[in-house]
Amino acid sequence: MALAGKRILIIIGGGIAAYKVLELIRRLREAGTEVRVVMTAAAKHFVTELSVASLTGSKVFSDLFSLTDEAEMGHIQLSRNTDLLVVAPATADLLARMAHGLANDLASTLLLATDKKILVAPAMNLRMWLAPATQRNVRTLKNDGVLFVGPEDGDMACGEYGPGRMSEPANILAAIDQALKGNTALPLPPALRREGGALMGKRVIITSGPTHEPIDPVRYIANRSSGKQGHALAAAAAAAGAEVILISGPVALPDPDGVETHRIETALEMRAAVEAALPADIFIGAAAVADWRVANTAEGKIKKGFRPPGFSLVENPDILASVARHGSMRPRLVVGFAAETADVLAHARAKLERKGCDIIVANDVSAGSDVMGSDENQITIVTRAGLEPLPRLRKDEVARRLITRLADLLPSMPEPAPMAKTGSGSDV
Ligand code: PMT
């Protein structure tokens, strides 16, 4: 993690999710991060300055016109003597003020005056999140380079269900780590996009390669994916004119031309990078994401003893399934891969249903199939309408044909539903 020795300025907004920020601060401090906090007036209704100050070990700032604070360091310095600004919970009101450049309290003044990256973790009632005004503000902020983590779908304090829940502290922590490593989802300059292709004007997110799940600082769990198929898909989508965001695990390949590439290591980092890159028209999960990670990663190298070390595994989040079931930002076309060693098509069909995606691309990775790591692949496109097998081809030709097929299918896909379930009430 890139957190040790870094300085984070957290702006706590006025929402019920503010209590989760206490846990975030605790985790950041454990990771060796220096944390300063600014609270809005509304935030103080949800958490006390005392609890925040005792967790950060330093003064909490909230007054724009505090003579003492101004004499000591100056407000502008507060936002510049930091590596990253994090707004959590980012309420609809705070997002609106940021999008419009308002500076009517300490929080909004710092956000306007900063020259550092900003990561926001929105939290609000689902109707407020889905309101055209909020979505407009979100688009403006994303275009301005502001990074987002969440919101997630789930039960709200008010009894409703849908998008608007603030991301859990572990996910915000992973997004902070990504932002500090420079793996951010800033928009690709239009000059790098190719004109006239079948995916012109479309945004495509692609995952590629393996993930590495650490056991200790020197060892990890991984798989044999080389990233060749995922990277070829990114290049083919860019050649078709799309704005492509490639989220790649550790691979030995160069970043494809004209593609915004983010390098991650673990499944949790991949999920945070995918979340930050949404919304998109198409999502393609070509990565071989590790299904499990080590629960108790050792801080130091595990030494050889009489017995092999025991460690327990916990399941990683299913990135493809969560994108396919994303209430508010489900891409119109969600495509997964199925790497199988037996009963390939039966497993692929089952995955199509279980993960809730629109297409599964089945490939046989059994011993002797020579797919993982090689330059060729033989795929079958599995949809609810049937099977479309392709011959064994070079991976770049597989990618070209698959992207052409997706471009054909895209207009026939239904507009994504705005939310998974609905109810009534408020989260703020
Ligand atoms: O990288 P190469 O060497 O070129 O090889 C290409 C490939 C064989 C790795 C690729 O074509 C492929 O099949 N990728 C998916 C491999 C895989 O992990 O399949 P799976 O059956 O475990 O997962 C099914 C789908 O869910 C995949 O889209 C995967 O990205 C996704 N998934 C899985 C687990 C998880 N926690 N999150 C996910 O999103």
pLDDT band per the 50, 70, 90 thresholds, residue 424? very low
Domain shared by 306 and 223, yes or no: yes
Residue 425 lies in a domain: no
Q: Is the pLDDT of residue 428 over 60?
A: no
Q: What is the pLDDT of residue 178?
A: 83
Domain shared by 213 and 346, yes or no: yes
Q: What is the pLDDT of residue 79?
A: 81
Q: Is the pLDDT of residue 23 over 70?
A: yes
Q: What is the pLDDT of residues 330-348, one digit of tens each?
A: 999 999 999 999 999 999 9
Domains: count for the chain? 2
pLDDT band per the 50, 70, 90 thresholds, residue 419? very low
pLDDT band per the 50, 70, 90 thresholds, residue 350? very high
Mutate to test the pocket of ligand 1, among 224, 266, 337, 354 (most ligand atoms within 8 A of CB): 337
3-state secondary structure 243-301: EEEEEECCCCCCCCCCCEEEECCCHHHHHHHHHHHCCCCEEEECCECCCEEECCCCCCC
Residue 382 lies in a domain: yes
pLDDT band per the 50, 70, 90 thresholds, residue 71? low
Q: Which region, left, alpha or beta, applies to residue 408 given φ > 0 means left and ψ of -120 to 50 means alpha?
A: alpha
For residue 87, the CA-to-ligand 1 centroid distance in Å is: 33
Cβ(264)–Cβ(183) below 8 Å:
yes
Q: What is the pLDDT of residue 72?
A: 66
Q: What is the pLDDT of residue 417?
A: 58
Domain shared by 218 and 259, yes or no: yes
For residue 339, the CA-to-ligand 1 centroid distance in Å is: 6
pLDDT band per the 50, 70, 90 thresholds, residue 421? very low
Cβ(247)–Cβ(277) below 8 Å:
yes
Lookup: tokens for 275 = 């979340």
Of residues 428 and 99, more confidently modeled: 99
Domain shared by 205 and 170, yes or no: no
Q: What is the pLDDT of residue 17?
A: 94
Q: Which of 113, 147, 180 is the last residue of a domain?
A: 180
Q: How confident is the model over 122-132, as a mean pLDDT?
A: 91
Q: Does 341 contact ligand 1 (Cβ within 6 A)? A: no
Cis status of the peptide bond prior to 151, with omega within 30 of 0 = yes
Domain shared by 251 and 142, yes or no: no
Task: Look up the CATH number of the domain holding residue 43.
Answer: 3.40.50.1950
Q: Which region, left, alpha or beta, applies to residue 190 given φ > 0 means left and ψ of -120 to 50 means alpha?
A: alpha
Residue 101 lies in a domain: yes
Residue 131 lies in a domain: yes
Q: What is the pLDDT of residues 167-196, one digit of tens each?
A: 999 989 988 988 887 644 444 444 445 556
Cβ(44)–Cβ(11) below 8 Å:
no
For residue 237, the CA-to-ligand 1 centroid distance in Å is: 18
Q: Which of 157, 180, 203 is the last residue of a domain?
A: 180
C-alpha distances in Å from residue 105, one per residue of 11, 78, 110: 12, 14, 9
User: How buried is 116 (Cβ within 10 angstroms: 0-12 exposed, 13-18 middle, 19+ buried)?
Assistant: middle
Q: Which of 180, 205, 228 is the last residue of a domain?
A: 180
Which stretches within 188-245 are classed as H helix?
228-239
Q: What is the pLDDT of residues 281-334, one digit of tens each?
A: 999 999 999 999 999 898 888 888 867 778 899 999 999 999 999 987 899 999
Q: Does 287 contact ligand 1 (Cβ within 6 A)? A: yes
Q: Does 369 contact ligand 1 (Cβ within 6 A)? A: no
What residues form DSSP beta bridges with 37?
A: 10, 60
Domain shared by 169 and 196, yes or no: no
Residue 238, domain extent: 190-412
Q: What is the pLDDT of residue 144?
A: 84
Q: How far is CA 143 from the centre of its chain?
A: 16
* Mean predicted lDDT score pLDDT of the chain: 89
pLDDT band per the 50, 70, 90 thresholds, residue 361? very high
Q: How confident is the model over 157-166, as a mean pLDDT?
A: 79
User: Atom 18, ligand 1: which residue's CA is nearest?
Assistant: 288
Domain shared by 132 and 25, yes or no: yes
For residue 144, the CA-to-ligand 1 centroid distance in Å is: 33
Q: Are strands 161-165 and 152-155 parallel, antiparallel or unpaired?
A: antiparallel
Domain shared by 158 and 224, yes or no: no
Domain shared by 170 and 262, yes or no: no
Share of the chain above pLDDT 70, in %: 91
Cβ(36)–Cβ(82) below 8 Å:
yes
Q: What is the pLDDT of residues 87-107, one digit of tens each?
A: 999 999 999 999 999 999 999
Distance between CA atoms of residues 324 and 358, nearest Å: 8
Of residues 37 and 182, more confidently modeled: 37
Residue 427 lies in a domain: no
Which residues are identified as catalytic? 158
Share of the chain above pLDDT 90, in %: 67
Domain shared by 44 and 162, yes or no: yes
For residue 384, the CA-to-ligand 1 centroid distance in Å is: 20
Q: How many CB atoms lie within 10 A of CB 257?
A: 11
Q: What is the pLDDT of residue 126?
A: 87
Q: What is the pLDDT of residue 203?
A: 94
Q: What is the pLDDT of residues 259-269, one digit of tens each?
A: 888 999 999 99
Domain shared by 165 and 207, yes or no: no
Which long-range CB contacts under 8 A does 400-406 form with residues at least 24 apart? 400/236, 400/239, 402/233, 402/236, 402/361, 403/198, 403/199, 403/233, 403/236, 403/237, 403/239, 403/240, 404/198, 404/240, 405/381, 406/199, 406/282, 406/284, 406/333, 406/335, 406/359
Which long-range CB contacts under 8 A does 45-51 form with residues at least 24 apart? 45/14, 46/14, 46/15, 46/16, 46/18, 46/19, 47/12, 47/18, 47/19, 47/21, 47/22, 51/22
Q: Is the pLDDT of residue 15 over 90?
A: yes
Residue 167 lies in a domain: yes
pLDDT band per the 50, 70, 90 thresholds, residue 142? confident
- The crossing angle, in degrees rounded to 10, of helices 106-113 and 92-99 is 40
User: Atom 16, ligand 1: which residue's CA is nearest?
Assistant: 288
Distance between CA atoms of residues 289 and 299, nearest Å: 23
Residue 422 lies in a domain: no
Q: How far is CA 179 from the centre of its chain?
A: 11
Q: For residue 207, give the ligand 1 atom closest to its CA.
A: 30
Residue 419 lies in a domain: no
Q: What is the pLDDT of residue 121?
A: 96
Domain shared by 145 and 294, yes or no: no
Q: What is the pLDDT of residues 215-230, one digit of tens each?
A: 999 999 999 999 999 9
Task: Look up the CATH number of the domain holding residue 215.
Answer: 3.40.50.10300
- The crossing angle, in degrees rounded to 10, of helices 228-239 and 395-409 is 50
Q: What is the pLDDT of residue 196?
A: 67
User: Atom 26, ligand 1: which residue's CA is nearest?
Assistant: 320
